[in-house]
Amino acid sequence: MSDAYADFKEQPGDDPDDVLFNTLYGVRTIQLNRPKKYNALNGSMIRRIIPRLKEYQKSALASIIIIGGAGPKAFCAGGDVSQLAKDIAENGETGQATSKSYFGLEYKLDHLIATYPKPYIAYLDGITMGGGVGLSVHAPIRIATENTNFAMPETGIGFFPDVGGSFFLPRLEGFLGTYLALTSESLKGVQALYAGVATHYIDSSVLSNLTARLAELVFKDYDNLHTRLRIIDRTIEEFNTGLPHNEPPHLAGNLRLAIDYCFRYDTVEQIVSALEKERDSPNAPSQIKEWANKTLEKLAEKSPTSLKVTLRQMRLGARWNTAETFNREYHIAAKFMRHPDFVNGVSARLIHKPATKARWEPDTLEGVSNDDVENFFKIEEGEDSLNLLTQGLDYDRYPFERDLGLPREEHVEEVVKANSRGREDIINTMVEAKEGKIGVREKVEEVLGRRAGINGEGKVVWKS
């Protein structure tokens, strides 16, 4: 076994049943099996999943990998950070080293998923947060259900949106990723589809039938990954049960414009100032004023250090490829393990019952200097790097984002600018291009309503 795999040997205390693996013809299923802990990810689970993924990668019989969670409430509610915080509080530097090792294991798994050469599908059926995001968002196919509850709550516990959040979040449309990263705002059900977190939406009641149907698929030996994913994409649409009634995109219209306006800035102080202006503006709609006020209240609860580091992470991560993302996050995580906000935040929010208000050090934005922030991104000479399990398959953009999921804003813009045509014609063109995929019409309508207008000839024009 190479050094890269030395960490994945079973260790004393590992639970043999915390992850269940099953085979159904060409499908290999991975089920996180800690339902009482909301399937929170720990080292034992990672040490079981990685060897199986490498085994499936080599097997000619394994065509599709599907990951899901046991129980009715969660896909995976995050990494088991409570245990990490307890270890640091009790054992100091030894606990910090143990926690750093855990994050190294986790990020190796996340990077393996991000660069996996076979179809990998995540069922986001239930709570999907923190470590659960790392197991899912880098998958080319991510299926949301009515139970999906997606969030990155790290700034509220004195940490940062890791598990590849540096890559995934800045590549969401506009400044949605920055908004989600700083505020920990959740996306429920079909909203995960509209925001680009999920690529598909189906009812949870048909997931088992979908798994059985996918097991029937037989690919040709010469079918590449792109072809196989397109076949899977069309197969998932066979289980389309329609969109929820009376639930249009929430992060849309004036609210989306306000998000992009306020969260475009490069300092947290500027974002706070922009939100205050929205809240106090006599011309702002009441909905936006209320949103701005609630958002300010949310930000005031977060770790000032986490907020500033996370915003810098969002701006830098937009330029990182997948390998650099996980290497950088590995070093940032290690520095948070040495910062008091992590133990304080996890203890207050997750360990104490009932949860209490965390004591941040420092407790104001002004107390966190630019040097403090930049130190999180410095890699000191002699520091170890993350020995990733996959080489040569990294990328700067998700390779299948154009073909899977709903159209992005730039795709709508391309269609509008390519030809002078009416609104309904554009919508129908994009729905047909996606073969009638659910959610396309609603997404295109929202983008056109926010980013386009109608000229005197009744044709759609893109707003600059």
Active site residues: 79, 131, 154, 162
- Residue 187 phi, psi (nearest 5): -115, 120
With H, G, I as helix, E, B as strand and everything else as coil, classify residue 15: coil
Contact 244, 188 (CB under 8 A): no
Report the alpha-carbon distance of residue 389 to residue 380 in Å, rounded: 23
Report the alpha-carbon distance of residue 113 to residue 117 in Å, rounded: 9
For the record, the structure tokens of 110 come out as 């996340």
Query: What residue type is 61 in one-letter code?
Result: L
CA distance to 26, 176, 288, 296, per residue, from 285 (Å):
53, 20, 5, 17
Sequence-distant (≥ 6) Cβ neighbours of residue 370 within 8 angstroms: none
Which residue stretches of 169-321 are H helix? 176-183, 191-194, 207-215, 225-237, 253-262, 268-280, 286-301, 304-317
CA dihedral sign of residues 188, 353, 104, 370? positive
- Residue 381 phi, psi (nearest 5): -60, 130
Report the alpha-carbon distance of residue 95 to residue 175 in Å, rounded: 36
Q: Across the chain, which distance is largest between two alpha carbons, in Å?
A: 73
Task: From 148, 142, 145, select the one nearest 233 (Cα to Cα).
Answer: 142
Contact 164, 328 (CB under 8 A): no
- The string of DSSP codes covering 351-398 is ISSS------SS-SSTTS-HHHHHHTT---TT------S--S---SS-
Torsion of CA 324, 330, 334, 340, to 10 degrees: 90
Report the alpha-carbon distance of residue 198 to residue 261 in Å, rounded: 24
Within 10 angstroms of residue 427's Cβ, the number of other Cβ atoms is 20
Query: What residue type is 334 in one-letter code?
Result: A
